[in-house]
Amino acid sequence: MCVDCGCDAERHDSRRVEVRRDLLAANDRLAAANRLYFAEKAILALNLVSSPGSGKTSILERTVAAFDSRPVVVIEGDQQTGRDAERIKAAGAAAVQINTGSGCHLDARMVAAAISELDPPAQSCLFIENVGNLVCPAMFDLGEAAKVVIISVTEGEDKPEKYPYMFRAASLCLINKIDLLPHLDFDLAALKASALAVNPAMIFIGLSARSGEGFSGWLEWIEAQCPVAAKAVRQGG
């Protein structure tokens, strides 16, 4: 018997699974619509995910300032406040803040609403800074071209083993705050081995949002993804 409502526990669990499936299916339909919109306008959409405090916003600030081959627009996700969007606007990019309240992730519906407000230009680069969380955002497709997981060297190198779904879903791992490596007991090789055990195709770029070290590799990776969106348009989606 379920301790929450007194119903048959097996039946209760089945209903929870069914509701979850329905929720994800509805999200996937909206994500497909977002993806078609991005393809039609040759927009590169990247979903940035991480734990709180990894430096997502700082990385975006420097990226906005340095990336000049395409227009850049940003969707900021947080439970409360509009501080991150204000920081991005000050850096020079159009931005929309989404506050999720008690929600722990962005979903495709929220992104669609933000796109409508932003109206990103064709051939732009859209960064989606997800809510700081390595669990829920792994489950929700937003229509992005790729998930980019960010980890800082002030976190444990065992994060990929603790949060395998996120690292399995991501295409790129940005390792931030590498300027602090000389001062920390952080095993970079162990982090990479842990991530590759979960996702053998994972790509790694080490950088510092503070000093700018390693940013050229990040910008080159972004640039390399851009023709993919344009190619999809030429081929009719």
Q: What is the CATH number of the domain that holds 50?
A: 3.40.50.300
Q: What is the pLDDT of residues 15-72, one digit of tens each?
A: 555 555 667 899 999 999 999 999 999 999 999 999 999 999 999 999 999 998 899 9
Domains in the chain, number: 1
* 28: in domain: yes
* Contact by Cβ (8 Å): 129, 76: yes
* 3: in domain: no
pTM of the predicted structure, to 2 decimals = 0.86
* Contact by Cβ (8 Å): 56, 139: no
Out of 145-154, 182-191, 224-233, least confident range: 224-233
Q: What percent of the chain has pLDDT over 90?
A: 79
* 1: in domain: no
* 34: in domain: yes
25: domain range? Answer: 9-234
* 4: in domain: no
* 196: in domain: yes
Cα 216 from Cα 200, distance rounded (Å): 24
* 189: in domain: yes
